[in-house]
Amino acid sequence: MKIGDYLLAELAGRGVRHLFGVPGDYSLAFLDQVLAHPEVTWVGNCNELNAGYAADGYARISGLGALSLTYGVGELSAINAVAGAYAERVPLVVLGSLPARRTLDAGRVVHHGLGDADWRRV
């Protein structure tokens, strides 16, 4: 079983029926798993902050919300919504993505990074 399938099964088992987010190049393989999942529906948003607030609202109504973001700029764009959910004890699962392990291990410079290939800050 792939980790994405496991995560989706766990979310579905806890009652999550909608996953909010914005597609990003580091999360596209996971998004394919979401689209194929029989119980969890992808809800694409215009930007990450909107996705965060949508997931927050969903969690307030249904008991648990979930949000999928891409590395770096995507995660940082949603931080206010995530921090607000945390401050108000709203149960929100944030699924972040990273460049592939082989990319990190090779020390490659890729977009959404800081341009110095120092992945220890991940």
- Tens of pLDDT, residues 7-28: 999 999 999 999 999 998 888 8
Predicted local distance difference test score (pLDDT) of residue 104: 73
Q: Could you give the C-alpha distances from 84 to 17, 22, 37, 51, 56, in angstroms and in order?
A: 22, 19, 29, 13, 9
Q: Which CATH class name applies to 3-121? A: alpha beta
Mean pLDDT of the chain: 90
Predicted local distance difference test score (pLDDT) of residue 51: 97
Are 68 and 20 in contact, with CB atoms under 8 Å apart? yes
pTM: 0.86
Residue (of 104, 91, 84, 95) closest to 29 by Cα position = 95
How many helices (H) and strands (E) in the chain?
6, 4
Are 49 and 78 in contact, with CB atoms under 8 Å apart? yes
